[in-house]
């Protein structure tokens, strides 16, 4: 029984047993001219102009993002650290403290909320979304459904949440959210495998396209985890590979770059590496990666802190803003903005004002770092304490 040879050159494939070139000659057809294929337009539905304006508002000078999108379980861990039970009332009280801080909008342009928080109000009935708008802060929403094991990988993970995402984004928009966040992670010690990088990149691109189609500016966040004892050069290598693939798939999915924000991790050595890198070194390696991989059309780079101490995260950001960049280089910090706040508050009503002042201190420090004007002089020891957790989940 004859079998087809699939490795034959294209010119040897026959139509009806004849070579295509012979067929053209025998029918006197002219040689085919190159086809002009119109490029598919970059589109973001009917929200294009709004998406660009939202992204620009968040990426405004001297301002960054407050990330308070921890799941209820992770928020419970934060509360437990100060002796509070993980109840809805306690979570509401803590988030009310953060979101009703007067003057916060001078330093914060966006706040990423967990779904519970997006629909909550203060104890006197004012919607949290309206509290943010009063301070000219854009409400945002975490839309992923968390990390799960990735079958066929080297003990790596992938991020769930694409099912039903369009309808959820539409509902979040109605509730007042104007940007979204989706976090997936890449582990350096575990490879990373080509499968894990592709899965992370494709998932981020699909999410970004769906979010834009429903009016939400997507924050694109493939976090390169700090876990490991590798040098900074290895982190750079992995980050370049990941971001190259992310932008390839963003383009494949017709995502409008002017209407997205990035949330990368800084390029640092692994947390267990024997030598610590200076802010200047971290800035050099991080900006090298960004300039090689991120188009200038992207409005803002909003770094995550990734377990660095409050002061470390601020010093590193400051070092990156010592000369002009093609994008707004800023922050989207969770622990690096909240650690001092929690320790000051301790769940006591009489400490709310002091805790809000602690939030303003950290927000102002990072605002100055975004402008390249921060100095660590006068920072307390607590703010210099690292917060790295191996295998961190939230």
Query: Which residues are designated catalytic?
Result: 221, 263
Alpha-carbon span 265 to 332, nearest angstrom: 10
Taking residue 392's Cβ as centre, other Cβ atoms within 10 Å add up to 16
Residue 271 near residue 265, CB atoms below 8 Å: no
Alpha-carbon span 376 to 4, nearest angstrom: 71
Q: Which of 138, 209, 136 is nearest to 169 (CA)?
A: 209
Q: Which of 95, 168, 67 is nearest to 356 (CA)?
A: 95
Strand partners of residue 64: 108
Alpha-carbon span 69 to 82, nearest angstrom: 19
Q: Which residues of 144-158 are buried (b: 16+ CB within 10 A; e: fewer)?
A: bbebeebeebeebbb
- Take residue 134 and report the two structure tokens written for it: 């009063």
Q: Is 317 exposed, middle or buried (0-12, 13-18, 19+ CB in 10 A)?
A: buried
Q: Which of 84, 94, 78 is nearest to 128 (CA)?
A: 94
- Can you tell me which residue has the tokens 């966006």? 110
Taking residue 33's Cβ as centre, other Cβ atoms within 10 Å add up to 6
- Take residue 251 and report the two structure tokens written for it: 């383009």
Q: Which of 251, 100, 261, 97 is nearest to 178 (CA)?
A: 261
CA dihedral 14, 20, 23, 29 (to 10 degrees): 160
Taking residue 284's Cβ as centre, other Cβ atoms within 10 Å add up to 17
Q: Which residues of 101-131 are buried (b: 16+ CB within 10 A; e: fewer)?
A: beebbebbbbbbbbbebbebebeeeebbbeb
The answer to whether the peptide bond before residue 334 is cis (omega within 30 degrees of 0) is no
Could you list the beta-strand ranges (E) of 89-186. 108-113, 138-142, 147-149, 157-159, 179-186
């Amino acid at each position: 029984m004859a079998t087809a040879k699939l490795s034959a050159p294209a010119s040897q494939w026959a139509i009806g047993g004849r070579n295509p070139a012979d067929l053209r000659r025998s029918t006197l057809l002219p040689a085919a001219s190159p086809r002009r294929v119109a490029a598919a337009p970059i589109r973001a539905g009917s929200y294009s102009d709004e998406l660009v304006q939202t992204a620009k508002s968040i990426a405004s000078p001297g301002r960054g993002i407050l990330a308070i999108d921890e799941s209820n379980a992770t928020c419970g861990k934060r509360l437990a650290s100060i002796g509070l039970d993980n109840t809805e009332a306690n979570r509401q009280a803590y988030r009310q403290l953060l979101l009703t801080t007067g003057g916060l909008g001078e330093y914060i342009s966006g706040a990423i909320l967990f779904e519970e928080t997006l629909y909550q109000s203060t104890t006197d009935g004012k919607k949290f979304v309206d509290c943010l708008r009063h301070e000219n802060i854009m409400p945002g929403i975490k839309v992923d459904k968390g990390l799960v094991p990735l079958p066929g990988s080297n003990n790596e993970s992938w991020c769930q949440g694409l099912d039903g995402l369009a309808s959820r984004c539409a509902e979040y928009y109605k509730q007042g959210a104007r940007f979204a966040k989706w976090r997936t992670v890449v582990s350096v010690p575990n490879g990373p495998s080509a499968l894990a990088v592709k899965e992370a990149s494709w998932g981020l691109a699909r999410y970004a396209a769906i979010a834009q189609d429903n009016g939400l500016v997507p924050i694109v966040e493939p976090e390169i985890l700090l876990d490991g004892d590798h040098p900074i050069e290895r982190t750079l290598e992995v980050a370049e590979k990941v971001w190259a693939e992310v932008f390839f798939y963003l383009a494949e999915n017709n995502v409008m770059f002017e209407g997205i924000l990035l949330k990368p991790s800084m390029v640092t050595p692994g947390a267990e590496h024997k030598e610590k890198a200076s802010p200047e070194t971290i800035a050099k390696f991080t900006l090298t990666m960004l300039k090689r991989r991120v188009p200038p059309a992207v409005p803002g780079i909003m770094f995550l802190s990734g377990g660095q101490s409050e002061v470390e995260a601020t010093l590193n950001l400051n070092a990156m803003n010592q000369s002009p960049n093609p994008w707004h280089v800023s922050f989207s910090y969770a622990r690096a903005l909240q650690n001092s706040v929690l320790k000051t508050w301790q769940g006591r009503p009489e400490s709310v004002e002091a805790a809000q002042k602690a939030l303003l201190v950290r927000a102002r420090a990072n605002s100055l770092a975004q402008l390249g004007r921060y100095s660590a002089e006068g920072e307390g020891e607590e703010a210099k304490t690292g917060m790295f957790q191996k295998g961190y989940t939230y």
